[in-house]
Amino acid sequence: MISRHPGRSAVTALVMTLSLLLLSSTPASASGTCSSSTYYEPAQTSLASYQGVVGDLTDPSAAQLAGSLSNDNDGQHQLLWFEMLNENPEGSCGADQTECWQQVGVGMGTVEWSGSDFSCSSYASDQGSTYNVYYEGIGPGADDCYDYSYTGISINEDSAIPFDLFYDGGVGGSGYPQFDGEVTDSSGTLRHVNYGQLYYSTDHVKVASEEWTGSTSTCVTATNGSPYQNFGTDDGGNWSSGNYKMQLEDSSGSWGAWTGSPNTNNANPYWYDPLANSPADFQTNGPSPSGL
């Protein structure tokens, strides 16, 4: 897991830099705000309280990812993901005690040791032309982040599969609201990924792409780019090449397309302001009738 939260970013960047220095064969970091060893994260976050998200993620090898992040496709870590997030829970999640999350995504490359506040490293291994689904989360009372790569569930290059992450209506074994992660594999079979618990059954939803690169890159923003990354589904939560909406489950348990008003103002790698033009903002690298 790479820290992607504003409060952790400086520490994480430092730890990542130190980690790189420990690797004798890894080039030393370049200087600059958005250069080597920097974690880039164009993210799209809801402000409302949701209890699930259904959408679609394309493979992470596209040249252009969410926002204007260009993917150099150099084999380094690259992830796309959905997330349910509790902020400032009444207890601890990880050493910084500020956030718990459950995340489902697809990735390529390998995340280096982050280690700043929890033991979690993604293992989204590249297997040639396929990319693995992964699940990650940190739950109430836990110090450790759990991070699993599902080698048996992958996404083909230049294709897309639906992802679901939702509150399942009850509590899990530790007595906290339980979320369920599912994906639909390339054969069309719904595949269970994992369960995880959070302090609250409703809270923020986040969709993001991220790349950690060892080479110099420009700073990224969370504005739309072209081609687009497709996070979309139809109104029923089903992905197809012509759909570009994102489905959210509200606190009453109803699913519907995101029609709120997030905006893309003032996006930078370490802070995520919501988007302005939803649901079209959720399509990057996918087909778009309007060309957005």
196 φ, ψ (degrees, to nearest 5): -155, 155
Which of 176, 181, 209 lies closest to 195 in space, CA to CA?
181
User: Given the complex with another protein, which of 98 and 184 has the nearer CB atom?
Assistant: 184
Q: Find the shortest distance in angstroms from Cβ 16 to another protein.
A: 10
Nearest-angstrom CA–CA distance, 119 and 77:
17
Q: Find the shortest distance in angstroms from Cβ 178 to another protein.
A: 8
Nearest-angstrom CA–CA distance, 17 and 36:
9
User: Given the complex with another protein, which of 68 and 76 has the nearer CB atom?
Assistant: 76
User: Given the complex with another protein, which of 6 and 175 has the nearer CB atom?
Assistant: 175
Q: Find the shortest distance in angstroms from Cβ 219 to another protein.
A: 24
Q: Find the shortest distance in angstroms from Cβ 291 to another protein.
A: 28
Side chain identity at 109, as an amino acid letter?
G
Nearest-angstrom CA–CA distance, 51 and 203:
6
Cβ count within 10 A of residue 207: 26
User: Given the complex with another protein, which of 51 and 285 has the nearer CB atom?
Assistant: 51
The DSSP bridge pattern shows strands 50-58 and 160-171 to be antiparallel
User: Given the complex with another protein, which of 7 and 253 has the nearer CB atom?
Assistant: 253
Q: Find the shortest distance in angstroms from Cβ 266 to another protein.
A: 32
